[in-house]
Structure 1
């Protein structure tokens, strides 16, 4: 019977089960993710070489002139070294790690999840997946709210493979696409695209693409040739919070003529 149970465990039947329980499932980049991993023994004694957590997100990449959905690992965290779990036993392992500051927010179709993995010799490794909601950090939220106040609305949010010049700690970037519906830029801009990177608690870099609206034949040719877009790179800090709307409006205004 014991040999039969080992054979079943080797293909994942009656083997150890894992279940990750998060303290909370709504966070901001830079916050600590805490919780407990429960490991429950199966029908046979098993040696677990390691426990680890990975944070994943979905993103869009282009291949052969097609856009396909892929998955990016944005954080790998080692939790526990080797231990043995007895049949039917329950072991609880607490954990805590920091969510990377450049973690995308769960806007639009962007999803973030924590996947738990365990390495077990001569067996199918058990896994567990927990989805979390990620809100913008304080600075990013202030920027987005200021863009709303200026008269833009959010049209689309996507994660994409990061170009080489923007590749920092993560292989992907998140792009926010805004369109003006009121205020000083209605009729002057087609859209405003924005990406946050190099984020920290008190500072964030922004790459902004200002897409001017075509007016007249010359502007029309410029739009066709994609010469009507201006890329702007700027940095905002906690010191800009009180004046964020005016700072962003001033920057955008420079590229509307």
Structure 2
């Protein structure tokens, strides 16, 4: 019977199961994710080579001018050394790790989840998937609020493949796209796009893309040549007047 059970377990029947239990489901950047991984033995003993936790998000990749939905691994965490789980044994292993600074906020179509897997030799590896909510930091939320107070409406939020010069740091970037709603900005700008490059408890760094509205023949030629987009790199601390600083630099790009 034991040999038969081992054969069945190797194809996933009566094999060990895994269930990750998070201490909470909502986080902000720079927080630690913590919980326990519960492993329940199957109908026979099995060698667990590794338990790993991977942090995933969804994003859009462009290939030959086509937008393809994809998934990215933002962080991988190995939990333990090899051990044997006995039949019907229940074991809990606590864990804690920091959220990487590249994790996107879960708004719009953005999703973030933790996938837990058991690495079992010569067997189907059991997996578990847990979605979590990521909220912006206080400073990041201050930036987004300031832009809307200036007279912009958040039109969409997308996770996109990072440009080549950023891929060593992150596979994806999250882009917040705003459109002007008041006459001052609507006269000069088509849209405003924001990417958060780095966030810490005391500062936030952003890349702002200002897309100027075409004015006259020269303006239309600039749009056709993609010369109408200006980029601004800004860092804010907790003592900054975020809205005033944004207004000042954006207005210089409107001239």
Q: Which runs of 5 or more residues in structure 2 are unaligned? A: none
Residue 75 of structure 1: aligned partner: 75
TM-score, normalised relative to structure 2: 0.96
Within 1, Cα distance between the matches of 2:248 and 2:16? Answer: 59
Corresponding pairs, count: 255
Find the counterpart in structure 2 of residue 53 from structure 1.
53
Contact 1:214 1:220 in 2 (8 A): yes
State the 1:32 CA deviation. Answer: 0.7
Aligned mates of 1:175, 1:45 — CA distance in 2: 48
Which residue pairs with 2:221 in the alignment? 221
Using structure 1 for the length normalisation, give the TM-score: 0.95
Contact 1:26/1:133 (<8 A) preserved = yes
SS at match of 1:141: helix
User: 1:30, 1:200 within 8 Å by CA — same for their partners in 2?
Assistant: yes
Partner of 2:52, secondary structure, is strand
SS at the partner of 1:19?
Answer: strand
From 234, 240, 254, the equivalent of 2:252 is 254
Q: Is 2:217 the partner of 1:208?
A: no
Q: 1:48, 1:84 within 8 Å by CA — same for their partners in 2?
A: yes
In the TM superposition, residue 183 of structure 1 has moved relative to its aligned partner by 6.2
Secondary structure in 1 matching 2:14: coil
Q: 1:68 to 1:163 in 2, by over 3 A?
A: same
Deviation at 1:30, TM superposition (A): 1.1
Moved over 4 A (4+): none
Contiguous gaps of at least 5 residues in structure 1? none
Q: Report if aligned partners of 1:150, 1:184 keep a CA contact under 8 Å in 2.
A: no
Residue 142 of structure 1 deviates from its aligned partner by 0.9
